[in-house]
Amino acid sequence: MRLPFSARAVAPVAFAIVTLTGAVAADVHAQNQLEPLAQAESAPSADQSSADQEIRFVPGAVVQEMPAPFDLSSLSESDSLTEMVAATGTAPEPTGELLCLAQAVYFEARGEPLSGQLAVAQVVINRAESGRFAASYCGVVTQPAQFSFVRGGRIPTPNAGSSAWTRAKAVALIADRGLWPSEAGDALYFHASHVRPGWARARTTLATIDRHVFYR
């Protein structure tokens, strides 16, 4: 059957519209599929993102200086030894040489006033610096026949939870840093006041503090 003229004229136009619409739809579909690929190519990977963050958040040195566990800078010359010991009460547990010094203070003078404890620490320090004894605090303390609390070259363990140990640690730290002058001065020897050792007659007495006598 032949189409009328009007139908024959419209048909090619309709076909062209349908074809053009299909082409546009295909083009849109293609763009929709390409956009995620383009975004994926432009977006950084997880590794790249992590690397960028590391670069941004670590601009300087990784190791930072730790704050001091206690601060003595606020103390003045008018402050007492008692106040200084209290200011060092937050000091961490000593190790190495400082531990031996604190143990000597604890076992020799924990029942003494703070000035007496400081004097014992000063004797240990003086000996280590004298060149006449061992060159370290631990060497001085464990030297045979010098400190009665040492047994077989070994230092006992103090009661770490006691206030006496807290004070001994503070006194040892103060003495080691030279933060407070001791009445013992440059003493190298001391003994309990209830004994009279023969060697004491040949020494110069420097101070008597509570139950200890100190000599040069």
The residue assigned the tokens 């003229």 is: 5
What is the model's pLDDT at position 90?
A: 74
What integer is the mean pLDDT of 127-147?
96
- CATH architecture assignment, domain 81-215: Orthogonal Bundle (1.10)
What is the model's pLDDT at position 49?
A: 45
pTM higher than 0.95 for the full model?
Answer: no
What is the model's pLDDT at position 89?
A: 75
Q: How would residue 165 be classed by pLDDT, with cut points 50, 70 and 90?
A: very high
What is the model's pLDDT at position 72?
A: 54
What integer is the mean pLDDT of 124-145?
97
Contact present, 123 and 216 (Cβ < 8 Å): no
What is the model's pLDDT at position 138?
A: 97
What integer is the mean pLDDT of 123-144?
97
**pLDDT greater than 50 at residue 145:** yes
Q: In what helix (H) or strand (E) does residue 157 lie, and over which residues does it extend?
A: none
What integer is the mean pLDDT of 202-212?
95
Q: In what helix (H) or strand (E) does residue 121 lie, and over which residues does it extend?
A: helix 114-130
Contact present, 212 and 148 (Cβ < 8 Å): no
Question: Other CB atoms closer than 10 Å to residue 107's CB: what's the count?
Answer: 19
Q: In b/e form, how buried is each residue of 91-103, taking b as 16+ CB within 10 angstroms?
A: beebeebbbbbbb
What is the model's pLDDT at position 4?
A: 43
Q: pLDDT tens digit string along 51-92?
A: 444 433 333 333 333 334 455 555 555 479 999 999 887 778
**pLDDT greater than 60 at residue 121:** yes
Structure letter (DSSP) for residue 154 = B
What integer is the mean pLDDT of 181-208?
94
